[in-house]
């Protein structure tokens, strides 16, 4: 594919070190010799990927082998390109190992998690004062963030619209499980300095949350210029339109990298189990005292978690949220197993059919 001007990334030239390149990535890339270069995906638009390489930006596609294997790079991935600058062509041929993977459960009947971004260090779970301040949804985001291997931070935006911002933080701290909670206003700039400890040079953060929480305003404030258009929320439900339409990686003046994402309508927990336990550390701590090691914390005798609900040391709504996510996880895992079984069945039919055809040809030759 011809090299073109980048559509999404900031028009600056960076080194791989600036982009978060690690020793593990370097080791994985060592086996490539010849016209190959490494880069980081900054944007994807349908079948085109924008990749930042040393001192340049290229827009390219993926190889036929990757298409057949269903390997599609995500924003934040470090990739290998077959790069020929003399002819102005390049092609992504491999994805280097991911340090972390932020993914959500596939919508509908899909059995494969959807990877939102890769190699992320910090997940800013952005919510806002008003109707979007939903502890139950935040618990879902926390489960996904913990499962990714990245560090979650809860950000309550639009605190300038709240009468008591501290009360908003207290409500969210109750479900945060020890995760930091930051209140700020991207519109006025109040509290933006509270994000700085989590924006270290060459580290990568991602902004996730519903439409209308102010992610576009937040990214504009972080970059100190308008890179995303901003539309107001609808007054009757305080929801916004998808002002961000693609996932996009930006490099801040402080050297940190931030991935902006469109609002997520569905927040499925996917097939990763570790994130739920980390999102509910108090439930995990109580579970150790249950009579049975495989206690489901529902109606089993000697359940320490249920006892904590009865004595008031654990809220019933908190346990209900935990059980709901566990059931959803079990469903997603079963769906994934069914998907794998169907895939194996199709593959076996192909092999079986191929074998029958070969035997028929051999029999015909023997006549």
pLDDT at 299: 87
> Which residues of 96-201 form beta strands (DSSP E)?
101-104, 114-118, 122-128, 151-157, 181-183
Q: Name 154's bridge partners.
A: 125, 181
pLDDT at 234: 41
Please state which of the ranges 18-27, 112-121, 147-156 shows the lowest mean pLDDT. 112-121
Per-residue pLDDT tens digits for 124-154: 999 999 888 889 999 999 999 999 999 999 9
The answer on pLDDT for 11 being more than 90 is no
Rounded CA-CA distance 10/189 in Å is 22
pLDDT at 251: 95
Phi, psi of 183 (to 5 degrees): -105, 140
Q: 271 or 35: whose pLDDT is higher? A: 35
Per-residue pLDDT tens digits for 264-285: 666 667 666 678 999 999 999 9
- Taking residues 171-198, report their average pLDDT: 95
Could you tell me the pLDDT band of residue 313, with boundaries at 50, 70 and 90?
very high
Using CA of residue 148, residue 151, residue 157, residue 159, what is the dihedral sign?
positive
Phi, psi of 45 (to 5 degrees): -130, 100
Rounded CA-CA distance 14/52 in Å is 8
Could you tell me the pLDDT band of residue 245, with boundaries at 50, 70 and 90?
low
Percent share of the chain, pLDDT over 90: 61
pLDDT at 113: 75
**CA distance to 206, 220, 254, 285, per residue, from 251 (Å):** 12, 12, 8, 39
Q: How far apart are the first and last CA of the chain?
A: 51
- Taking residues 220-227, report their average pLDDT: 87
The answer on pLDDT for 205 being more than 70 is yes
How many other C-beta atoms are found inside a 10 Å radius of the C-beta of residue 51?
Answer: 27
Rounded CA-CA distance 307/288 in Å is 13
pLDDT at 131: 82
Q: What is the mean pLDDT of the chain?
A: 84
Per-residue pLDDT tens digits for 287-296: 999 999 999 9
Per-residue pLDDT tens digits for 66-115: 999 999 999 999 999 999 888 888 999 999 999 999 998 765 555 567 89
Rounded CA-CA distance 141/174 in Å is 15
Rounded CA-CA distance 12/107 in Å is 36
18, 206, 207, 209: which is closest to 121 by C-alpha? 206
Q: Using the structure block, give the residue that is written with the tokens 């959803």.
A: 328
pLDDT at 333: 78
- Taking residues 168-176, report their average pLDDT: 91
Strands 114-118 and 48-53 turn out to be unpaired
All structural domains of the chain, each given as residue ranges with its CATH number in brackets, are 23-95 (2.40.50.140), 101-260 (3.40.50.300)
CA diameter of the chain: 91
DSSP for residue 192: G
The answer on pLDDT for 7 being more than 90 is no
């Amino acid at each position: 594919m011809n090299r073109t001007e980048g559509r999404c990334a900031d028009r600056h030239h960076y080194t791989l070190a600036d982009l978060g390149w690690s020793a593990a990535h370097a080791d994985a890339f060592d086996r490539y010799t010849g016209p190959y270069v490494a880069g980081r995906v900054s944007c994807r638009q349908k079948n085109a990927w924008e990749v930042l390489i040393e001192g340049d930006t290229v827009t390219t596609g993926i190889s036929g082998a990757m298409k057949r294997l269903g390997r599609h790079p995500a924003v934040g991935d470090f990739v290998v390109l077959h790069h020929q600058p003399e002819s102005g062509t390049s092609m992504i041929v491999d994805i280097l190992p991911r340090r972390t993977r932020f993914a959500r459960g596939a919508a509908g009947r899909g059995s494969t998690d959807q990877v939102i971004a890769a190699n992320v260090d910090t997940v800013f779970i952005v919510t806002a004062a008003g109707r979007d301040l939903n502890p139950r949804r935040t618990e879902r985001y926390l489960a996904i963030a913990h499962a990714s291997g990245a560090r979650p931070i809860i950000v309550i935006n639009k605190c300038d619209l709240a009468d008591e911002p501290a009360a908003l933080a207290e409500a969210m701290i109750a479900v945060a499980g020890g995760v930091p909670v930051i209140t700020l206003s991207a519109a006025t700039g109040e509290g933006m300095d509270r994000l700085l400890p989590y924006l270290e040079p060459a580290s990568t953060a991602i902004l996730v949350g519903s439409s209308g929480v102010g992610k576009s305003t937040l990214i504009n404030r972080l970059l100190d210029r308008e890179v995303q258009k901003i539309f107001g929320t609808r007054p009757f439900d305080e929801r916004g339109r998808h002002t961000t339409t693609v996932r996009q990686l930006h490099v801040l003046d402080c050297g940190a990298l931030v991935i902006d994402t469109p609002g997520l309508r569905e927040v499925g927990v996917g097939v990763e189990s570790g994130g739920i336990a980390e999102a509910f550390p108090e439930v995990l701590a109580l579970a150790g005292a249950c009579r049975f090691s495989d206690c489901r914390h529902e109606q089993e005798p000697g359940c320490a978690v249920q006892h904590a609900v009865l004595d008031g040391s654990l809220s019933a709504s908190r346990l209900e949220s935990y059980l709901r996510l566990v059931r959803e996880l079990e469903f997603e895992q079963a769906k994934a197993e069914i998907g794998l079984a169907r895939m194996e069945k199709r593959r076996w039919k192909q092999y079986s059919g191929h074998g029958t055809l070969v035997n028929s040809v051999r029999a015909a030759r023997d006549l």
